[in-house]
Amino acid sequence: MAEAPQLFSEQELTCSICLDLFTDPVSTPCGHNFCQACIGGYWASSSVCTCPLCKRQFDERPQLSINKVFALIADKFKQTRPAALGDVVWCDVCSGVKQPAVSSCLTCTASYCSEHLQPHYNTAFYAKHPLLDPQEALRGRTCSTHRRLMEVYCKTCQRCICAICVLQDHRTHKTVSVQTERLSKQKLVARTEQEILNCIKEKEIRLSDLKRKLESVQNYADKERGDVEHLLDEVSASLDRIRTQVVGGIQNQLEAVTSKGETMVHRLEAELSQLTDRRATLEVQAISQDHISFLQSFEEATAPLDEKKHDDADEEAELSLHFHLDDVKSSLSDVKIKVDEIWMVLGLKKARAYIEDVTLNPVTAYPFLILSEDRKQLKRGEKLQFFRNSHHRFDVWSCVIAKEGFSSGRHYWEVSVGENKDWKLGVVTESAQRKGLFDMSPTNGYYAIWWCGSQLRALTTPPLTKVKGHHPKLRQVGIFLDVEEGQVSFYNVKSGTEIYSFHTNTEFTERMFPLLGTGDKEVPLILATAQHHPA
């Protein structure tokens, strides 16, 4: 059976409010048709009841009924549309049967089939209109509720909405077109862009300065490294020359003396062999019973010994080595001392990279110690300073522990001892004994040195270890702690040399605390405020 011709176009069956085919169509007294929900929402958003198309005003809100015949026609028309597979976008210009769109124009905010897209290709007016794939153009641009293009911006909600949203949930909100809002926000974009440009210029300048500085640092490091390596190469070459000359000289003398000695040995061995042979002959003749043979060989057997005269004393003197290397060995010892000092100074510089700001903990202080308000100084007092007893407090040893404890890493701090005549410095484990009289030693968790009078000792397991070296001008002591390496080192800050080191060769498993102690009532010990130094 042939299809009946279509009586209405899609445009005639489209609601002018939702711009879609009618759903439950109703007719107003003025003769215009709308979806029941659309006209109801439109009138609900206005205090005056008018027709959205002709603007005719009604005194009272009309009672509208669904036009069932018109609804049936709209439903039939929907069925004649090509099946919408997936998210097909239809041409907005086609009348009657809609054709799928092949492109969407962002400027026109419309989609076109191949026929109705031609003006965009052939007319100069549309030349600059951006065209996109319909699916891409609508992605993010259609209302998720009504599946219509979002052409309105709600200032109240700060988001894009479609025309139907305006008539429903946003009817009391302040709305403008997306183009109007774009122009408004474009000014903000321009201002933000300028701020970004200014920021980019600033950062480019900073980046350039930073790169220049890094290059300068690299050049300086390269120069210093080159100078040091050159000096070390020269020192190494000089030592090689000394080694070659001195060791070679010793070897040459040794070889000459050895050669003379071997010659003397060979001569004496030959003479000894001849004498042994004559003695054997004499022994045979002495026991011989042949008188005639004895008498015939007598003259030969008793002939005088034919020995060349040799001055044994002079020959032996020639076997002595005469190096005269006392000055050389003394100079090399001085060089070794200087190299060791350089190594120790480098050790201090490395340690100072880990400097800490240490303060004293009054809860641990011996009762007669006087602490400054900033907890940086202490000295021995005449009167009792702390009355409250604590299991953390020393009650025999005149010491105090710092508030800061270290359970990992490397740490360094400095203490000014000045002319103080009795002081102790070091570290102590968190669980170490503090009450009563006991030996301050590594066995008991104490790693410290003690200056008393004019002698410096390491508090090792008795007997105490006298620290080598002369330390009359020791005025400031640096203490370095390496928890993982189990190392505690002490430095003379002024000279940069190492005073003494404890090496356990195992990691400290407890928190370690700085330890200070003094019996001097005049000169305080002063903890230095941290000032970071480059490694």
In a shared domain, residues 308 and 376: no
Per-residue confidence (pLDDT) for residue 415, from 0 to 100: 95
The model's pLDDT over 427-450, given as tens digits with 9 standing for 90+, comes to 999 999 999 999 999 999 999 999
Angle at 336 between CA 330 and CA 341, to 5 degrees: 130
Q: Is residue 107 part of a domain?
A: no
pLDDT of residue 1: 38
The residue segments making up the domain with residue 262 are: 181-318
pLDDT of residue 379: 93
User: Is residue 75 scored above 90 in pLDDT?
Assistant: no
What is the identity of the amino acid at 152? V
Domain termination site, one of 80, 105, 140:
80
Q: Which of 27-31, 53-57, 139-143 has the weakest average pLDDT?
A: 139-143
Report the CATH number at residue 38: 3.30.40.10
Residues 218-268 have pLDDT tens digits of 998 888 888 878 887 887 887 788 788 778 877 887 888 888 888 888 888
- Range name among 72-86, 374-388, 418-432 with the lowest pLDDT average: 72-86
DSSP state of 406: B
DSSP per-residue codes, 115-182: TTTHHHHH-GGGTT--EE-HHHHHTTTB-TTT--B--EEETTTTEEE-HHHHHTTTTTS-EEEHHHHH
For residue 245, tell me if it sits in a domain.
yes
pLDDT digits (tens, 9 = 90+) for 162-187: 878 887 788 889 988 888 888 888 88
In a domain, 174, yes or no: no
Mark whether 376 and 522 lie in a shared domain.
yes
- Predicted TM-score (pTM) of the model is 0.44
CB 480 within 8 A of CB 491: yes
CATH number at residue 399: 2.60.120.920
Q: Are 239 and 307 members of one domain?
A: yes
Calculate the CA 38 to chain-centre distance: 64
Q: Residue 212 domain-assigned?
A: yes
Is the same domain home to 390 and 503?
yes
Kindly state whether residue 523 falls inside one of the protein's structural domains.
yes
Q: Quick one: pLDDT at residue 313?
A: 60
- What are 343-378's pLDDT values in tens digits? 666 667 777 888 899 999 999 999 999 999 999 999
E strand or H helix that includes residue 238:
helix 178-287
Are 43 and 24 a contacting pair, CB within 8 Å?
no
Q: Note if the bond before 463 is cis, omega within 30 degrees.
A: yes
Beta strands in 369-508 (DSSP E): 369-371, 377-380, 399-401, 410-416, 422-429, 446-452, 455-458, 465-466, 476-482, 487-492, 497-503
pLDDT given at position 5 = 46
The total of structural domains in the chain comes to: 3
Spatial separation of the C-alpha atoms in residues 29 and 519, rounded to whole Å: 111
Say whether both 389 and 471 belong to one domain.
Answer: yes
